[in-house]
A = this chain, B = another copy of it.
Amino acid sequence: MYLYLIRHGIAEDPDFLIPNLIASDEIRTLTKLGRKNFTQVAHKFQKLELTFDLIITSPLVRARQTAEILIDNQLSSQLELSSDLKPGGNLSAWLTDWNARPPNTAISRLALVGHEPTLSEWAELLVFGKVCHKLILKKGGTIGLKFLDRQIGIEMAQLHCVIPPKYLS
């Protein structure tokens, strides 16, 4: 079982958000450059035949748009939203949800699209069992984890790859 943690592409600057509008961070969109760069990443995934049986994304617009670029480039046909993937989302809550699903042997490559520092913290928990803030995950970057069987759990993964987006251009 492979789990790919993908950070959203370059998005609008938070400094330009409408003051006092709480929801404004949620509606930040990818910039033109963010779309272009992440489309290059999607093309590289295509070339490598790295497809996903399911993509689960944070519901925030910049993450959803990133996931949709993967869908638009035929890297998956299945897209779900999970509020656990919002910034600061709790890994244990997501694991509880995930492990409560009926076992599905058709899913061996799962992608989660979200935010930092949440995704790299999740990766550290899944690999090392604790958060060390030692992994660098750039916008549009991917962390790949390998699990020896179908179960996803804390300290059960090996770190298969950490790919800054420039290596995927």
Contacts and interface: CB of A to CB of B under 8 A. Distances in A.
Contact of A127 (B134, B146, B168): B134
Interface residues of A, number: 20
Interface stretch (A8-16, A66-74, A156-164): A156-164
Given A128-B128, A132-B128, A48 B167 contact: yes
A132 B128 CA distance: 8
What DSSP secondary structure best describes chain A's contact surface?
mixed
A48, A135, A136, A167 — most chain B CB neighbours (10 Å) = A167
A167 B158 contact: no
Interface of A: 44, 48, 127-128, 132, 134-136, 146, 157-164, 166-168
